[in-house]
Structure 1
């Protein structure tokens, strides 16, 4: 079996590795002229970490990143601490793997190196002009044709594969939010000689300030030598692009009335990227013929619960697992002439991709809705509802050990504790019982 993956982001690389580990040939087509990934921090929650462990790269990610020891929520105006949630060993005990923070470029590099080691073939500077679902086949700018058994569109929120698959009928939905993202050197903050800022820099944890219509996220990366800052606020600008260099003074003015400690951190930011945050309507389908979508190409989410990349790598790993199980069954059939199938190999591939879509839609939809709910909780206006939220946050936790509300940890277990690969294996067996094998004659 040969799989063509369009897009060399985190989801695409996870899919490539998963397929290779199943003995499937993989070609990755990436429009960028060379391997690159946006330079910002990223969190790897336990469900994403579990996938990385299954793909054999978790230990390398741990070398590049760090285990989150705590997560703190603070008031936006005075910096008053609402809750410090213990993570560390509690997370590992509850979910089997720790919660990591890492530089996104380091995450990407680990996956890229593993994909190359396994024999994935890459074509850089490969711009997709068309995708034929029968075959299937990818036609590149200049006329080159790349054919295989499966095509996976892992090309992000502006997916060319999706637009071809659905006929340009889907338009992005502007969420009304934007994100300022910056990574800068620790020494820039230490130069402030501020005890509160220094204490934050020494933490291996995530600190969030919650305020009306806005919130911020701050944590260390690269052994604490660099700091990651994300500032989320309403999008009041009319720029055409979805990503561009941000105005540093404009950003600082947006948080002029926030906590003094945060303002001091912001004052050290030398430059910032500005990202428009967009969503998609729920797509009528993720797969058509032997072509399927994954990650932001089919279910982008607001970055309000650290699940965007985790859901994408779950998609990729699940596709690899299902195709691997299918290939193993056909290998078995080839060795046993007394067995045959009801359908052709290509028809079964199409059916397995439909199974992938069926497995993933409910879970990713719940993740998207969870991020929207977090947005409402994080961005509450001052008043009675905000005071109720602050009271509940004091007793909430991610693990059963740290959660006095029960509801918070229950919700987290649905996301962080679910084993998607175990689920996919069980559902494949149900599918296989009605598709293969059958006795010939």
Structure 2
């Protein structure tokens, strides 16, 4: 069946599995392109994992494209003045990259830091404002790709769509369907302690070196043997994020664990005193991101180590590009609807998406690995 000239096109029905940043970007971009979007999130409530996040210029350009930059600033995003790399023993600055307007001139976008929950809130609000149906407590237990793509929820409900987007992260169940086999991530050998401190807590030390850090609007990276640490402001500099990265000694299969302060102190004994668990996982390069009308994005398809601040940035880029392509196909004249031709058209767009994104994301993954060795050697 084909659409008659002048007939109203029925919008593509897009299911996004996972309400993380990449999934929300895919939802926003698809909605802007005229698609109908349902977001399935297995958690009973939205609670983003992780304390804070960096938004490098490429991700900031996605935010600008969505028209959300001012909302991001209003939510507490800080445009940083510089990135400083420091020696672990004494805090000496080894090199710096200037931020601010120079960053904008050099990379066509600002570099922001923000609390992850605030970033996520801006994206979620926009997706819902544009018409996304958000369904919480909706665990996907099966995905069927033959004929019309379907997801099966825990409890037996079946939802049919034109496109299924697997944005369910590092531990993706959608990836198992695309690959046709279990595909668990593998540990990288590193873990992180994460913490957020209020300005009042840090000012109470009455230490000039700490005051310099909290008043600079900069990011700091202390690098040393086998470990490094990261510090930067969030929430309009009323709070500060600290991440301490070291070798992983948690039991196999752990995703998070309760932190031990004494162990953390011992791990960083002898480091610059200003800087005094969460295991990292990754996945081998996938042979494909697409099966029929199912596509993977973000950490489900190309998980990146955190040493380049590009994991979430790549995910929101994925979401933007995928939505643009679906929107372009959505408005194609005389596009077949409701038959094999329609599914073939969508599949070709998903394969085009993979071909457009795979080289860039692979380059990023390799860059993050290289940065790991630079920071911890």
TM-score range, shorter chain: over 0.9
Quick one: distance in 2 between partners of 1:39 and 1:214? Answer: 19
Tell whether the 8 Å contact from 1:170 to 1:281 is kept in structure 2 after alignment. Answer: no
**How far has the Cα of 1:239 moved from its partner?**
5.5
How many residues were matched structurally? 363
Aligned to 1:325: 328
Aligned to 1:241: 254
Quick one: distance in 1 between partners of 2:253 and 2:150? Answer: 32
Equivalent residue for 1:206, pick from 203, 211, 219: 219
Equivalent residue for 1:50, pick from 26, 40, 61: 61
**How far has the Cα of 1:308 moved from its partner?**
0.2
Tell whether the 8 Å contact from 1:11 to 1:309 is kept in structure 2 after alignment. Answer: yes
Give runs of ≥4 in structure 1 deviating > 4 Å. none
- The structure in which a higher percent of residues are helix is 1
Which structure 2 residue ranges, 5 or more long, are not aligned? 1-11
**How far has the Cα of 1:157 moved from its partner?**
0.5
Which structure is larger by alpha-carbon Rg, 1 or 2?
1
Aligned to 2:109: 97
Quick one: distance in 2 between partners of 1:229 and 1:239? Answer: 25
Moved more, 346-355 or 162-171: 162-171
Moved more, 275-284 or 238-247: 238-247
Equivalent residue for 2:364, pick from 364, 367, 385: 367
Aligned to 1:288: 291
User: Could you give the per-residue CA deviations for residues 136-188 of structure 1, whole angstroms, max 9, x where no partner exists?
Assistant: 00000110001110000000100011112223342322111111111121111
**How far has the Cα of 1:57 moved from its partner?**
1.1
Tell whether the 8 Å contact from 2:250 to 2:279 is kept in structure 1 after alignment. Answer: no
Say which structure, 1 or 2, has more relative contact order (CA 8 Å, 6+ apart). Answer: 2
Quick one: distance in 1 between partners of 2:294 and 2:355? Answer: 15
CA RMSD of aligned residues (A): 1.6
User: Could you give the per-residue CA deviations for residues 266-315 of structure 1, whole angstroms, max 9, x where no partner exists?
Assistant: xxxxxxxx111111011111010000000011111110010000000011
Quick one: distance in 1 between partners of 2:16 and 2:49? Answer: 20
SS at match of 2:165: strand
Whether 2:21 is the aligned partner of 1:14: answer: no
Distance change >3 Å, CA 281–CA 240, structure 1 → 2:
closer
**How far has the Cα of 1:250 moved from its partner?**
1.2
User: Could you give the per-residue CA deviations for residues 351-390 of structure 1, whole angstroms, max 9, x where no partner exists?
Assistant: 110111111111111100000000111111xxxxxxxxxx
**How far has the Cα of 1:39 moved from its partner?**
4.5
SS at match of 1:175: strand
Equivalent residue for 2:165, pick from 134, 152, 164: 152
Aligned to 1:77: 89
Which structure 1 residue ranges, 5 or more long, are not aligned? 264-273, 381-441
SS at match of 1:354: helix
User: Could you give the per-residue CA deviations for residues 206-252 of structure 1, whole angstroms, max 9, x where no partner exists?
Assistant: 01101001111000100111110011111123254211221122112
TM-score, normalisation: structure 1 = 0.80
Whether 2:198 is the aligned partner of 1:185: answer: yes
